[in-house]
A and B are shown apart, each in its own frame.
Chain A
């Protein structure tokens, strides 16, 4: 009787652990894959940005290496918020003619510049311009390229 009960307990624990592993794995996998250009490029409004990303020196980095905070709870909160906003606008809202990054995204992206390139900027002052991309101007999706090199109708 006692043996049976402990066996059942063990089963529950093992199953629970397994479920946890599967859930965590699933969560980690979906978090990771929804960071990628392949996922972001599912919406035609993002074609221009995924395309210029793929043409660029950052092609091997995921979109969200730049576009959401690097770690912590804020990473998940920011992602959920942006995802919800973008989904809503795509499904029910009006996409603007020209898509511009909001202030919060600009701050997040700039923090991520400094996160990866910290050694490069270690010995220099960073107070001349607000954003790294104020000098590194083609990094924001090659926005000085002629339109036809990065965009097309129906996107």
Chain B
């Protein structure tokens, strides 16, 4: 065959292929790659060259100025409804510091921002004691902040968790080690992977192998590595401070509450052996702290139960080069712009306008947020009732101790339920019915706590509990580790007087650097 004929045949074949469709439509499968990156890569920068488009969208997480109605990326103080942005915001929860009295969350708790700030924010937060060589919190606090975890867990095993948090600060680059590619991707193939120890532990308990999980499951589970409720193992029950997800009874909040009636070392009457995160400084109640249970909230919600994944709404496909789809790696509120809503929602809700969709979300959020504030007020009243009852000098009920134990149990449960909604970042949207149910039950349990405390004092505390709770127990706007060094501050509010005064001290740590002039700690990690 001549060269000309050859070309002609090839052209005809191509034409035929076009018409008859030689190309089979492939299964919807994520692409697999072969990179030159070593499997041990824990920094972000090396991924930029092979994946410039994805990296470009990842860097968009640096945006931290845009707010939505209830959420957004300005890291305002979540208890502050007094000051303007960036310090406070109109939709803040004024009682948070009261309700977490005696726990690090009362020092600082802010609105979240992009993954690119995860490391900066954990090293900057006042929850971790930067005025001392002892952080007061374990290295487990790095678990969801950096791909360095892969390296550290490999190096130290289960010894890592209880090691000194401050000891690792200097190993970290604020940006290059912040949550990044290696947290979710195998650096060699870029296949989705689960690097989280507690999630892998849970999957193993359930008899699931992450390697055989469906792509759809993985598109949520990579987020469930971190956007979940967790606790640190009590040394009596396993490796100290190892993170665990309390899921073996189920994802329902009441089931998780039942789970915590084990795995701890509480000695309070009626709660022996229960798990507690801390004892409330004012009511002396063994408390549970809820943390961002996005996965548990969403999984049996309208979207989750229908198999819609986190990535469907938070990593919608975009054609950055105008042609091929890539997953948008800018994880943020889809409500920030009409374009964001269009990308996140209108792939499925093709017949709805961005305005309509936003209105539906905010309608749920408004109801949930209003009920959340009310549930927190009754919760404050429960703590105050228990405080007053425990100091009651008048006539007491014959079964005073039993009634007080019941009051504290209800107080704990009431707070657990509102906290699961408060800590969850969708303001109810991920599961409207579950959120509102939790808040309704929260108020019920907190009110029962008040009732038991009343009964215990033969209703003697009735008059001092009557009236507006905001007058009886004003919200605490300002509190921090620095302020707790001041006797004057501790006298400024009835509840603050229950806290011990800290010795005066200056900052030892500033992000990943030791403050100059402070003595080096003798023991490293």
Interface residues of chain B: helix, strand, loop or mixed (majority)? loop
The reply to whether A42 and B21 form a contact with Cβ atoms under 8 Å apart is yes
Q: Are B322 and A95 in contact (CB under 8 A)?
A: yes
Answer whether A41 and B25 are a contact pair too, CB < 8 Å, given A97-B316, A146-B307.
yes
Bound CA span A28–B20, Å: 14
Complex interface: stretch among A70-78, A110-118, A147-155: A147-155
Give the distance in Å from the alpha carbon of A84 to the alpha carbon of B444 in the complex: 65
Asked whether any CB of chain A lies closer than 8 Å to the CB of B494, the reply is: no
Q: In the complex, are the beta carbons of A38 and B21 less than 8 A apart?
A: yes
Given A97-B343, A153-B326, A143-B348 contact (CB < 8 Å): yes
Q: With a CB–CB cut-off of 8 A, which chain A residues contact B318?
A: 97
Question: Could you tell me if A50 and B319 are in contact, using CB atoms closer than 8 angstroms?
Answer: no
> Does A87 touch B at the CB level, under 8 Å?
no
Cross-chain contact of A143 among B307, B309, B319, B350 (Cβ < 8 A): B350
> Which one of B28, B216, B309 has the greatest number of beta carbons of chain A within 10 Å?
B28
Q: Is B188 an interface residue (CB 8 A)?
A: no
B29 pairs with A36, CB closer than 8 A: no
**A39–B15 CA distance with the chains assembled, in angstroms:** 11
- Across-interface contacts of A95 in B (CB, < 8 A): 319, 322-323
A36 and B25 alpha carbons, distance in the complex (Å): 13
- Please, how many angstroms separate the alpha-carbon atoms of A34 and B18 in the complex? 9
A37 to B, closest residue via Cβ: B21
Asked if B25 and A153 sit within 8 Å, CB to CB, the answer is: no
A145 to chain B, nearest CB (A): 8
The reply to whether A148 and B309 form a contact with Cβ atoms under 8 Å apart is yes
B350 touches A140 (CB 8 A): yes
- B513: Cβ under 8 A from any A Cβ: no
Which residues of A (6-62) have their CB < 8 Å from a CB of B? Answer: 30, 33-34, 36-39, 41-42, 44-45, 47-48, 50-51, 54
Assess whether B322 is in contact with A41, with CB atoms less than 8 Å apart: no
Partner of A54 from the list B25, B307, B327, B351 (CB cut-off 8 Å) is B25
B312 touching A147, Cβ below 8 Å: yes
A102 contacts which chain B residues (CB < 8 A)?
A: none
Indicate if the CB atoms of A148 and B28 lie closer than 8 Å.
Answer: yes
- For the complex formed, measure the closest distance between the CB of B309 and the CB atoms of chain A, giving whole angstroms: 6
Partner of A152 from B28, B319, B346 at Cβ < 8 Å: B28
Most B CB contacts (10 A, CB to CB) among A37, A48, A150, A152 go to A152
Q: Taking beta carbons and an 8 Å cutoff, which residues of A are in contact with B?
A: 30, 33-34, 36-39, 41-42, 44-45, 47-48, 50-51, 54, 93-98, 100, 134, 140, 143-155
Chain B residue with Cβ nearest A29 = B19
Contact partners of A44 in chain B: CB under 8 A: 324
Supposing A98-B346, A134-B351, A148-B219 touch, asked if A154 and B21 sit within 8 A by C-beta, the answer is no
Chain B residues contacting A54 (CB-CB under 8 Å) are 25
Chain B 324-345, CB-CB to A under 8 Å as 1, else 0, gives: 1111000000000000001100
Q: Which chain B residues lie closer than 8 Å to A97 at the CB level?
A: 316-319, 325, 342-343
Q: Is B6 an interface residue (CB 8 A)?
A: no
- Minimum CB–CB distance for A47 against chain B, Å: 5
List of A residues within 8 angstroms of B219 by Cβ: 147-148
A98 and B20 contact, Cβ closer than 8 Å, known pairs A93-B322, A148-B215, A153-B326: no
Q: How far is the CB of A71 from chain B (nearest CB, A)?
A: 22
B348 contacts A51, C-beta separation under 8 Å? no
Bound-state CA distance A154–B322 (Å) is: 12
Point out the residues of chain B lying under 8 angstroms from A149, CB to CB. 28, 216, 307
Taking a contact as CB atoms under 8 Å apart, the answer to whether A154 and B28 are in contact is: no
Quick one: which of A30, A45, A94, A151 contacts B19, CB cutoff 8 A? Answer: A30
Whether a CB of chain A sits under 8 angstroms from the CB of B308 is yes
> B466 near A: Cβ within 8 Å?
no
Q: CB of B30 within 8 A of chain A?
A: yes
Roughly how many angstroms separate A155 CA and B25 CA in the complex, as a whole number?
10
Contacts of B28 in A (CB 8 A): 47-48, 51, 148-152
Can you add 16 more A-B contacts, CB < 8 Å, to A37-B21, A145-B307?
A39-B19, A42-B18, A42-B21, A48-B28, A95-B319, A97-B316, A97-B317, A97-B319, A97-B343, A140-B350, A143-B347, A146-B308, A146-B312, A147-B309, A149-B307, A153-B317
Chain B residues with CB below 8 A from A36, complex form: 21
| A41 and B21 within 8 A (CB) | yes
A141 to chain B, nearest CB (A): 9
Cα(A154)–Cα(B307), bound, Å: 22
Contacts of A94 in B (CB 8 A): 319, 322
B435: CB under 8 A from chain A? no
Give the residue name and chain of the B residue nearest to A92 (CB).
Answer: B322
Residues of B within 8 A of A140 (CB): 350
- Considering the chains assembled together, what is the distance between the CA atoms of A97 and B341 in angstroms? 12
User: Lowest 5 A-B CB distances belong to which pairs?
Assistant: A38-B21, A94-B322, A33-B19, A148-B216, A152-B28
Contact of B325 among A93, A134, A146, A153 (CB under 8 A): A153
Contact A50–B215 (Cβ < 8 Å)? no
Knowing A38-B20, A146-B216, the reply to whether A151 touches B348 (Cβ < 8 A) is no
A98 to B341 alpha-carbon distance, docked (Å): 12
B1 interfacial contact with A, CB 8 Å: no
Chain A CB within 10 Å, residue with most, of B20, B30, B31, B319: B319
A93 (CB) vs chain B CBs: closest residue: B322
Query: Is there an interface contact between B21 and A155, defined as CB atoms closer than 8 Å?
Result: no
- What is the CB-to-nearest-CB distance from A149 to chain B, in angstroms, rounded to a whole number? 7
The B13-28 residues at the A interface (CB cut-off 8 A) are 18-21, 23, 25-26, 28
Query: In the complex, what distance in Å separates the CA atom of A145 from the CA atom of B303?
Result: 11
Q: Measured between alpha carbons, how far is A134 from B325 in the docked complex, in Å?
A: 28
**Given contact pairs A95-B322, A97-B343, A154-B31, A33 touches B20 in the complex (Cβ within 8 A):** yes
The contact string, 1 if C-beta is below 8 Å from chain A, for chain B 406-419, is 00000000000000
Kindly identify which residue among A45, A51, A147 contacts B347, using a CB–CB cutoff of 8 Å: A147
Chain A hits for B18, CB < 8 A: 39, 42
Asked if B311 lies at the interface with its beta carbon under 8 angstroms from chain A, I say yes
